[in-house]
Amino acid sequence: MSETKNKKFPIYAVLVTVVFKLLFLLTNYIQEDAFITWRVAQNLMDYGVIGFNGPVKISASTTHLYVFVSYLFNVIFGKEHFIVPLLIFNSVLFTVGSLLLSHLLLKNHRHKAIFIFLIGILPPAIKVSILGMEYGILFFLEMALLYYGFFKGKKWALILFPVMILFTRIDTVIFLGIVFLVDLVWTRKIRWLYVAGGIAGIAVTLAFNWLYFGEIVNNTIVAKKLAYSKHFTFEQNLDYFRLNFGNFWGMLKLPGDFNPVTVAILIFELLCFVYLIRHRNKRNVFLWMIFIFGWVKQLVFLSQKSLFDWYYWVPQILLFVPVLIFILEQKEKRNLWLSLLIMVYIVPMLAFQTIHSIATGNGEWNYRRTIGLFLNKYEKDKNQWIFLEPAGYVPYFSGLKTIDEVGLVDKEVQEEIKKDKPNFWINTVKNRKPKYLLSYDDLFKSKNAEYLMAHYRLIREFRVKDHLKSDNKILEKIYILKPSGTDYNLYERIDR
């Protein structure tokens, strides 16, 4: 086959990978927090304000760039039809990002094609592409920076991409910083345009926060730090890290304190990385960049007790890259190595993610969404308030104004937490008098039962067990095998 046709293999791989992953749209597995960003985007449409509840400005979403992208998709496709096009867009961008990464690390076009497909069907890659979060865009921007800025030496890329990356998420300063340090050690030169791009990115993001919201750091960061902060001793911090690293460092979560699958893969990733960098190669600088970033990002976020899955998706992908390169470049028994990888790891991981997506999609879309749809019909006055946690599906599909228990979408909760953290919930109820309360607990058996029974009535119970049935027996078995969701009780205020 001609070299020209070989060059098309990576492009074909991109198309095949995107189409393959679109099958996961059928699972309806969309991350709760995506609906926060999408509601912010729709709030911008309806009120001309980046907020969550009408004309009140608040950075309720962690990502500014993705809010504007979501806004454009809402404008183009409408509120009822923008989700699928946006998810396809995210999937395409992630897969193009993996194409750029393959250009950085591989020369053989067949190897690039296999690399793109296998990376694309790893569990975190599927979640990056399909779950509606900003990481598909972010992965593309980060790989575009490495490819155009550092591989191709395009000066414009060193300015543009850092600004876009930081405007997507401010914590990407970790990625940009690691890239700068590795490049500095490797070339023994400072790329001043890149430094300027980083400074410009920080300045643009912080200036936008200050000028628009009147704050330096995104409200979401402040709210989470305030709500989830705990004082740990050094020993407690070590125990916390030990108990959680296995389930966030690797691609497979297992019950218990020790995850042997993660440890085995982690060791293999390290061995493959060491083997690859032993050989002098221009690509090694990029291997150092992505591998050190993967380690640092994981260590920083786990040490800060940030246990949200999405923080770890991109590092999980990048840490696995040396494994694929090592196997693809084996000169002897390559097919055996590749077959073992696919059968022993890739296929089981894909099966695990498929079951997880089907079960979680049922718990989120078929269950939690129904609470929002019920409220949408039950309460016609969309100026009424609901107090709940989390602030994704139910506020989005109900259309009600929302107070969330963390304070992501309502700053007054943060003030209550500062004043009296143990009693902030009941104080918020008494002071704000929201019409609806949605709780995991039976509030009439809580320590505040007397007040709540005097002012609220239970109007409906929502139970996970009621959503574990399906006409399709295979789906029903999956639902029962891995029930997803939380039982809720919905209360309505009886005096105003």
Exposure b/e, 45-61, CB count within 10 A at least 16 = b = eeeebbbbbeeebbbbb
User: CB-hemisphere CA count at 13 Å for 10?
Assistant: 22
**What sign does the CA torsion over 70, 73, 79, 81 have?**
negative
282/413 same-domain check: no
Whole-angstrom distance, CA of residue 164 vs CA of residue 468 = 42
Q: Please give the distance of CA 401 from its chain centroid, rounded to a whole number.
A: 24
Report whether pLDDT(258) > 90. Answer: no
314/426 same-domain check: no
Which residues lie below 8 Å from residue 198, measured CB to CB, with a gap of 6+? 162, 166, 173, 176, 180
Q: List pLDDT tens digits, range 461-482.
A: 999 998 888 888 899 899 888 8
Does residue 315 have a cis bond before it (omega within 30 degrees)? no
Range of the domain at 456: 359-493
Phi, psi of 277 (to 5 degrees): -80, -10
Phi, psi of 460 (to 5 degrees): -165, 145
Q: List pLDDT tens digits, range 200-220.
A: 999 999 999 999 999 998 888
pLDDT of the residue at 275: 94
pLDDT of the residue at 1: 47
- Asked whether residue 351 is assigned to any structural domain, the reply reads no
Domain-ending residue, one of 329, 350, 371: 329
- Asked whether residue 366 is assigned to any structural domain, the reply reads yes
DSSP 51: B
Q: Are strands 401-404 and 385-388 parallel, antiparallel or unpaired?
A: parallel
Of how many residues is the chain composed?
Answer: 496
301/163 same-domain check: yes
- Asked whether residue 254 is assigned to any structural domain, the reply reads yes
DSSP 256: S
Cα–Cα nearest to 66, from 33, 95, 23, 18? 33
395/278 same-domain check: no
- Asked whether residue 109 is assigned to any structural domain, the reply reads yes
321/369 same-domain check: no
217/74 same-domain check: yes
221/170 same-domain check: yes
- Asked whether residue 131 is assigned to any structural domain, the reply reads yes
- Asked whether residue 349 is assigned to any structural domain, the reply reads no
Report whether pLDDT(323) > 50. Answer: yes
Which residues lie below 8 Å from residue 398, measured CB to CB, with a gap of 6+? 371, 372, 373, 374, 375, 376, 379, 386
Amino acid at the residue 451: Y
Tokens linked to 370: 């129904």
- Asked whether residue 202 is assigned to any structural domain, the reply reads yes
297/366 same-domain check: no
Report whether pLDDT(230) > 90. Answer: no
Q: Which residue has the higher pLDDT, 275 or 471?
A: 275
Report whether pLDDT(232) > 90. Answer: no
Q: List pLDDT tens digits, range 408-432.
A: 999 999 999 999 999 999 999 999 9
Domain-ending residue, one of 313, 329, 345: 329
279/405 same-domain check: no
Strand order in the sheet with 401-404: 401-404, 385-388, 436-439, 488-493, 456-462
Q: What percent of the chain has pLDDT over 90?
A: 76
Domain total in the chain: 2
Whole-angstrom distance, CA of residue 220 vs CA of residue 285 = 34
56/196 same-domain check: yes
Whole-angstrom distance, CA of residue 423 vs CA of residue 255 = 32
pLDDT of the residue at 280: 82
247/112 same-domain check: yes
Whole-angstrom distance, CA of residue 474 vs CA of residue 426 = 44
Instruction: Using alpha carbons, list the distances in angstroms from residue 28 to 59, 130, 394, 454, 473.
Output: 27, 9, 16, 39, 18
Tokens linked to 184: 């500095």
pLDDT band of 76, cuts 50, 70, 90:
very high
Q: Please, are residues 393 and 32 in contact by the beta-carbon 8 Å criterion?
A: yes
| CA 204-209-212 angle, 5° bins | 110
Q: Please, are residues 6 and 109 in contact by the beta-carbon 8 Å criterion?
A: yes
Exposure b/e, 294-332, CB count within 10 A at least 16 = b = bbbbbeebbeeebeeebbbbbbbbbbbbbbbbbbbbeee
pTM of full prediction above 0.85: yes
23/169 same-domain check: yes
The three-state (H, E, C) secondary structure of 454-473, written as one string: HHEEEEEEECHHHHCCCCCH
Exposure b/e, 426-437, CB count within 10 A at least 16 = b = bbbbeeeebbbb
Which residues lie below 8 Å from residue 374, measured CB to CB, with a gap of 6+? 398, 460, 490
- Asked whether residue 181 is assigned to any structural domain, the reply reads yes
Report whether pLDDT(130) > 90. Answer: yes
